[in-house]
Structure 1
Amino acid sequence: MRKISLLFGCLLCMLAATAQIRGNEIRVMVSPDHTDWNYRLNDKCTFTVRVLKAQNLLQNVTVDYELGPEMYPTEVKKGVLLKNGELKLQGTMKTSGFLRCKVTAHVGDRKYEGLATAAYAPEQLQPITELPGDFREFWAKELEGARRTSLQPLMTLLPERCTATVNVYHVSFQTDRWGSRFYGVLCVPKKEGKYPALLRVPGAGIRPYAGDVYTAEQGAITLEVGIHGIPVTMEQSFYDNLMNGALNGYWTFCRNDLRNFYYHRVIIGALRAVDFICELPQYNGQALGVTGSSQGGALSVMTAALDSRVTFFAAVHPALCDHEAFMKKRACGWPHYFYYYGAPDAKELEVVRYYDTANFARCLTVPGWFSWGYNDDVCPPTSMYAAYNVVTSPKELHPYLETGHYWYQEQWDEWLAWLWKQLGIGK
């Protein structure tokens, strides 16, 4: 009986460990009256607001709502009663951009949120940010200076992460000066031969990395890097301590100093990662892509714009787009420097122009795949379209309307299939 009780207890623990919390019982649905969420300038958009429980309308719910351009709502109301379970709200835009309806429902002592964002001629959006006259020359000179520092790469095999067909290494290499290193996880097919390569650059934050073994198993070299100059194989608590301590708010560090701004070393480090890949004896010297989302989406654009050896890139909800849009009360991209951290002085305004994804986008010459959602409130679609619209190289945009700052499975699958096609693998 004791053995049976122990077994039963173990089964209960296993069930508890595998149980998942998914979603909410109550959902706030905000639905534009065009199925594609796209409108012509001056057209009326009618948003229908419903609050559902078990897929049925809840009666007499109280909601708060905001309506207007992203980040700058023009209509704000609280305590509106949904007498028949629905509320219809109307708005329009006279200039290109995105009209957002954001709703908070109060049910008992809980709050539930929903939103939808209508597009008004987004193909007409252009960046507010100015392109410095010496933008290309500046970055060419900075990279030339950094390359005077040798890579001095270090590679440590991680046997516990290797598979039957792929070797996995913890690697590091110098970036812009002696002792300043990038760290990452390199995955290389074991079979002798020459392979295409993919560089994966990270979203914002501080975390460990596992490397892209899955793509490497299809026949490509993959390198996933961190940007903070620290090993990427430590316990999560190590990174949490940094995020809450010395690197808290790192994206704001020295943003009024052209060469000491935090992202200076980050951008140079991503370019030195390309140097590292190109020195690998297994690289075929042909297909080399770079990809990432959010901060990584920005770094994908930046790396592809500055290094001619990159042959393609994929950017998902790219950040750091059109900082100066704030000056025109238009939605700017993460990290919303002036929106959250105060209006810029002349020096800061000058500096951030060299770190704006929209300005790198002007320099692209290789094919790119883009994707984002209209409901993204971290990287607003207004900011991303502004950058996308100045790209003159071959490009594809795959919007997934309802997504915020996250992926749908279909979006992930489409992104991966495109990357593999460019790499010539996974057939």
Structure 2
Amino acid sequence: MKNSILKFKSLTFIIVSFLLVLNVQAQTNNTSSFTLVVTADKPNWIYQLGEQPKFKITALQDGKQVKNIKVKYELGPEKMPALKKDSLILTKGEAFVNANSLTAPGFLRITVTAQSGDKIVKSLATAAFAPETIKPTITLPDDFNTFWANAIKELEKVPFDAKLEPLKERSTATVDVYQLNIQNIGTSRIYGILCVPKKEGKYPAVLKVPGAGVRPYNGDIALAEKGFITLEIGIHGIPVNLKANVYDDLRAGALAGYAGFNLDNKNSFYYKRVYLGCIRALDYLANHPAYDGTNLAVQGGSQGGALSIVTAALDKRIKYLVAFYPALSDVTGYLFNRAGGWPHYFNATSVTLNNTKAKLETCQYYDVVNFAKQLKVPGFYSWGFNDETCPPTSMYAAYNSISAPKELAIYKESGHRQLPEQKEQATNWLIDKLKKP
């Protein structure tokens, strides 16, 4: 009798599970409209050490909550091995996961996935623990400022040799557009798209520095139409208006992994030419006949966020900076059992290759944290807690090192991208600062 009851219960369980799976498949057949929403129980997602966040997972189909969705989740500090992996069924269309606290300042992330047709749908939420107290792990060399002062002296010996190519097809009724290329350190060059208001007068200038990658650039014509000289540069010493396949080939070939080129030599590391190239671009803007002579700013995101901080720290001509989710920040974090900044030189897949005395020394001279410590001018900074490319722990390590006036705009749900309202807020901040009488 007992065996019969057990068999009946087992059969019932199998049937119910099978029906649940069918129900999930039926409800998520339209993969384009199925989403997962994950949130933390505090509105700002910020907790004190010892507090335990609760994450809410919701499944939506066509914007409406759907039941009986099976999800998998991983929970742990960002970019580090998960502390917990589990699955659950959202029988009512939602469920809660209780999380442990962190014992040190940082970020705790839950990543949730669900099968939807032949696709995996993913969402995440990231709780911050005392982020304003995160300290950097990177060391500041005693000769840091001397190293860079000497590098700039060498750059000053290099002639401009500026060349302008009018891009009439890109110019507008109010803005002239050019491709500019100028001599950089050694025999390298810096290319960029220069946009200058046509109306005679003196204007503030903005240097736009690029995120990571190999691509063409269009220039910031929209900002130029508001009364600014803009120069958007590339960093690889190649024209920035070529056909897409050229950049595709370089990205997959000669420039693949460029962020690690010569990491074992601080004098020939790839980013030395890049950092000095930003200064050389400022040299051009500061000498442009339409420049107002006072108001000069730098702006960028990711790698460009890093370059914004670096450029403003190295060059006193910069009056304001905007940095979105800065990369190259506190890259040694992984060596202290926490997330480090892009390009993740010391994560689990790269630490064996890069954890050498020479490479660690080079990082000290190029890490954004050590430039952040030198800043003297106001800056606008912005990122999200869900950034999986530039971990917020690394960015806070840089931000908390800044003693200059600073403003931080957190868009907590956002990842490694600029939301329209985020970009608008930064642009309004910059315009207000540069156009003050």
Both structures adopt the same fold (TM-score exceeding 0.5): yes
2:200 to 171, 192, 214: 192
Shift of residue 73 of structure 1?
4.1
| Whole-angstrom distance in 1 between the partners of 2:57 and 2:134 | 28
How do 1:192-211 and structure 2 match up within 5 A?
Answer: 192-211=200-219
Distance in 2 between the 1:290 and 1:367 partners?
Answer: 11
The counterpart of 1:393, out of the listed 375, 387, 404, is: 404
- 2:375 paired with 1:364: yes
Deviation of 1:79 after TM superposition, in Å, equals 4.2
Q: 1:351 maps to what in 2? A: 362
Structure 1 residue aligned with 2:395:
384
Q: What corresponds to 1:411 in structure 2?
A: 422
1:31 CA displacement? 1.4
Q: Structure 2 vs 1, CA of residues 346 and 62 (structure 1 numbering), >3 Å: closer, same or farther?
A: same
Matches for 1:107-186 after TM superposition, within 5 Å: 107-177=116-186, 179-186=187-194
Per-residue CA deviations over 1:40-85 (Å, capped at 9, x if unaligned) read 1100100011222123333332222111111124433244333333
Is 1:118–1:374's contact at 8 Å kept on the other side of the alignment? yes
Between the aligned partners of 2:149 and 2:137, the Cα distance in structure 1 is 24
Map of 1:260 onto structure 2: 268
Change (3 A) 1:48 1:73: farther
Q: 2:313 aligned with 1:305, yes or no?
A: yes
> Distance between the aligned counterparts of 1:233 and 1:334, measured in 2?
27
Cα deviation for residue 318 of structure 1 reads 0.6
The answer for the alignment partner of 1:100 in structure 2 is: 109
Q: Deviations over 1:373-409 (max 9, x none)?
A: 0000100111101100010000000000100001111
Distance 1:79 1:309 in 2: 55
Cα deviation for residue 288 of structure 1 reads 0.1
Letter in 1 for 2:136: P
Query: What pairs up with 1:231-242 in 2 under 5 angstroms?
Result: 231-242=239-250
What is the alpha-carbon root mean square deviation over aligned residues?
1.5
When structure 1 is superposed on structure 2, of 339-348 and 400-409 the one drifting more is: 339-348
1:342 Cα shift? 2.2
2:411 aligned partner, one-letter code: Y
How far apart in 2 are the matches of 1:223 and 1:74?
43
Unaligned 5+ runs, structure 2: 1-30
* Counterparts of 1:87 and 1:79, CA distance in 2: 11
Secondary structure in structure 1 of the residue aligned to 2:57: strand
Pair 26,45 (structure 1): closer, same or farther in 2 beyond 3 Å: same
How far off is 1:148 after superposition? 1.0
Further displaced range: 387-396 or 186-195: 186-195
Q: Which residue of 1 aligns with 2:340?
A: 332
Counting matched residue pairs gives 403
CA distance in 2, matches of 1:233, 1:108: 40
2:251 is matched with 243
Range with greater deviation from structure 2 (158-167 or 290-299):
158-167
Q: Which moved more, 1:300-309 or 1:415-424?
A: 415-424
Matched, 1:31 2:39: yes
Greater C-alpha radius of gyration: 2
Identity %: 46
Measured against aligned partners, the alpha-carbon deviations of 1:277-323 in whole angstroms (never above 9, x if no partner) come to 11211111100000000000000000000000011100001100001
Question: Tell me, what secondary structure is at the counterpart of 1:338?
Answer: coil
1:359 CA drift (Å): 0.7
Q: Structure 1, unaligned stretches of length 5 or more?
A: 1-22
Could you give the per-residue CA deviations for residues 214-261 of structure 1, whole angstroms, max 9, x where no partner exists?
111121111010000000111111111110111011111111111111
Q: TM-score, normalised by structure 1?
A: 0.92
**Amino acid aligned to 1:98:** F
What is residue 68 of structure 1 aligned with on the other side?
A: 76
Displacement of 1:160: 1.3
Task: Report the Cα offset of residue 355 of structure 1.
Answer: 1.0
The match for 2:5 is none
Secondary structure of 1:379 counterpart: coil
